[in-house]
Amino acid sequence: DAGVTQSPTHLIKTRGQQVTLRCSPKSGHDTVSWYQQALGQGPQFIFQYYEEEERQRGNFPDRFSGHQFPNYSSELNVNALLLGDSALYLCASSLGQTLTSQETQYFGPGTRLLVL
Amino acid sequence: DAKTTQPTSMDCAEGRAANLPCNHSTISGNEYVYWYRQIHSQGPQYIIHGLKNNETNEMASLIITEDRKSSTLILPHATLRDTAVYYCIVRGRHGSSNTGKLIFGQGTTLQVKP
């Protein structure tokens, strides 16, 4: 049973560039959430996708956007990169919209983004 | 903002039980207590969650006080590989408006020592 996978593992970009990060959810899961974790901090919620739509969003600017595909995989896009966007980006998957599930989220290993 | 309070750091001797406390005095009746841990530079790992009853799985036990205002995560026989940051999170029940996101605080850094 494959867990959550993310690609790439590491990435280096320069200010102003755009980046796309990818996530494949755990087998059987249909909901993907994205988090940003700055060094020394806890993860911060960016947004969540279910049925190819953004269901909930955290306090992040519009430079952060996402997409979910019919196979439930997801992308996180960040435009006009700033130095402060350097962080570990985490993807978590869960099974949404059931009457009994507490929607436990399972995390991938993350993508380490460095903006120079 | 995180709705939980945890000690910044704790030490535990290898082989002994590690008891990690968490205060969540503003928890509401439809909110669960979740525990995750994060080993350096890896993604958070789900440990356990509960509503009001004590819970146990292969990783840990979760003890929730009767008034639900605090809880304790117990690792019964800590090993060096249990060294990590442990996060206690309060999360809405399915159907509430806040089931999507996990709000992480600073967590407790547990150092297991030989």
Q: How far, in Å, CA of A73 to CA of A22, rounded?
A: 8
Q: Is the pLDDT of residue A97 over 80?
A: no
Q: Is the pLDDT of residue B94 over 90?
A: no
Q: How far, in Å, CA of B78 to CA of B15, rounded?
A: 5
Task: Work out the average pLDDT over A76-88.
Answer: 98
pLDDT digits (tens, 9 = 90+) for B65-79: 999 999 999 999 999
Confirm if B21 and B86 have CB atoms less than 8 A apart.
no
Find where tokens 């036990």 sit.
B61
* Structure confidence at residue B53 (pLDDT): 86
Half-sphere exposure of A3 (CA within 13 A, CB side): 13
Confirm if B33 and B49 have CB atoms less than 8 A apart.
yes
B15 exposure class (CB count in 10 Å sphere: 0-12, 13-18, 19+): exposed
Give B78 or B28, the one with higher predicted confidence: B78
* Residues ≥6 apart with Cβ < 8 Å to B29: none
**Cβ-Cβ contacts under 8 Å, B93 against chain A:** 102
Q: Do B44 and A44 touch (CB under 8 A)?
A: no
A59 part of contact set with chain B, CB < 8 Å: no
Task: Work out the average pLDDT over A67-76.
Answer: 97
Give A5 or B93, the one with higher predicted confidence: A5
Confidence category of residue A103, pLDDT binned at 50, 70, 90: confident
pLDDT digits (tens, 9 = 90+) for A14-58: 999 999 999 999 998 999 999 999 999 999 999 999 889 998 899
* d(CA A79, nearest CA chain B) in Å: 23
Q: Do B102 and A105 touch (CB under 8 A)?
A: yes
Confidence category of residue B2, pLDDT binned at 50, 70, 90: low
Q: Is the pLDDT of residue A96 over 70?
A: yes
Half-sphere exposure of B79 (CA within 13 A, CB side): 3
* Structure confidence at residue A99 (pLDDT): 45
Task: Work out the average pLDDT over B59-70.
Answer: 96
Q: Is the pLDDT of residue A115 over 50?
A: yes
**Cβ-Cβ contacts under 8 Å, B91 against chain A:** 102
Q: Do B106 and A42 touch (CB under 8 A)?
A: yes
